[in-house]
Amino acid sequence: MRFVTASLGGERFIGMMDEGVKKVYNLSLAASEMKIGYPESLLEGIERGEDFLHATNVLLEKLRSGDPHRFTYDISHPDLCLLAPIPSPRKNILCVGKNYKDHAIEMGSIDDIPKHIMMFTKAPTTVIGHQERILAHSDVTSELDYEGELAVVIGKRGIGIPAEEAYDYVFGYTIINDVTARDLQARHKQFFLGKSLDSSCPMGPYLVHRSAIQNPESLAIETKVNGEIRQRANTKDFIFSIPEIISTISKGMTLEPGDIIATGTPAGVGKGFNPPKFLKTGDLIEITVEGIGTLRNEVY
Mean model confidence pLDDT for the chain: 95
Residue 22, sorted as left (phi over 0), alpha (psi -120 to 50) or beta, turns out to be: left
Region of poorest pLDDT, from 52-56, 112-116, 225-229:
112-116
- What is the number of residues in the chain? 300
Q: Is residue 152 part of a domain?
A: yes
**pLDDT(37) > 70:** yes
Same domain membership, residue 162 and residue 78: no
Mean pLDDT on 92-117: 88
Same domain membership, residue 271 and residue 239: yes
pTM of the model: 0.95
Same domain membership, residue 280 and residue 184: yes
Q: What is the pLDDT of residues 206-249, one digit of tens each?
A: 999 999 999 999 999 999 999 999 999 999 999 999 999 999 99
Under 8 Å between Cβ of 130 and 297: yes
User: Confidence class of residue 41 from pLDDT cuts 50, 70 and 90?
Assistant: very high
Mean pLDDT on 140-150: 98
Number of domains in the chain: 2
Nearest CA to 209 among 125, 31, 118, 85?
85
CATH number at residue 201: 3.90.850.10
% of residues, the chain, pLDDT over 70: 99
Give the residues across from 288 on adjacent strands: 222, 294
User: Confidence class of residue 21 from pLDDT cuts 50, 70 and 90?
Assistant: low
Same domain membership, residue 114 and residue 38: no
Mean pLDDT on 66-70: 80
Same domain membership, residue 66 and residue 171: no
Q: Is residue 38 part of a domain?
A: yes
**pLDDT(2) > 80:** yes
Same domain membership, residue 50 and residue 160: no
Give the residues across from 208 on adjacent strands: 2, 173
Helix, coil or strand: residue 112: helix
Question: Structural domain of residue 153, as residue ranges?
Answer: 93-298
Among 83, 112, 133, identify where a domain stops.
83
Q: What is the pLDDT of residues 240-296, one digit of tens each?
A: 999 999 999 999 999 999 999 999 999 999 999 999 999 999 999 999 999 999 999
